Amino acid sequence: MSLPPIVVFDLDGTLAETAPDIMHTLNVILEREGLPALPIERARELVGAGARALIERGFKVSGRPLDAQKLEELFEEFLVIYAGSVAKDSYVHDGVTAALDALAADGFVFAVCTNKPILHTRLILDHFGITRRFAAIAGRDSFPFFKPDPRHLTQTIAEAGADPQRAVMVGDSRTDVSTARAAGIPVVCVPFGYTDVPVESLEPDLVIQHFSELPDAVRRLTNREPALAAHS
């Protein structure tokens, strides 16, 4: 029996708009340290590389450097605060459920591969009632490696029991594109996620404007049609 094809999703900025709760947690940390809160608009440049990088970036734009020990202390504090409010203002992007339904009807299985800690990842997916849709869920701490290490993606696919030769990554950032490229897997990007440059400039295989476009994009890529070279 052949292994099923798979679509592997990033979480933050891709499947869900999670910046409001992430930025709220960062601002709690900043204000406790005597620094002003940052506006939600800064999320696009700050979010996407994990909580440690977020804290480090947040302090950098606030004009205060952090040493390694202080960063670790604040990271542990961040994890506790965030666990209490992972989905207060977050939401799943429009069209996600319909896209999953359409692809499932084509025989695809699904996974999540994110640099968010697995605890918070599962809390968010549970909150939105979509955990059961994924054959595998891998966070930053699920393996000894994480994105952009391609093994984070390939091991997630293996855990889902899926075919890596018929896999597609869906993400929103340089990290996702780099991971997929290193793994030899085509990648679709959404332009409404967390990236410091336009996703088109990262040259993913395809860019979709809405999740209603995802089923056709995935079909094109897994069939290896000539049209997949178009970045639109």
The residues annotated as belonging to the active site are: 10
Tell me the DSSP string of 6-31.
Answer: EEEE-TBTTTEE-HHHHHHHHHHHHH
| C-alpha to C-alpha distance for 32 and 30, rounded to whole angstroms | 5
Q: CB neighbours (10 Å) of residue 64? A: 13
> To 10 degrees, what angle do helices 68-83 and 51-61 make?
110
| End-to-end Cα separation, the chain, in angstroms | 35
Helix, strand, or coil (residue 113): strand
Gyration radius from the chain CA atoms: 17
Q: Comparing C-alpha atoms, which of 14, 89, 110, 11 is closest to residue 51?
A: 11
Strand stretches in the chain, DSSP E: 6-9, 16-17, 91-92, 109-113, 136-138, 167-171, 187-189, 206-207
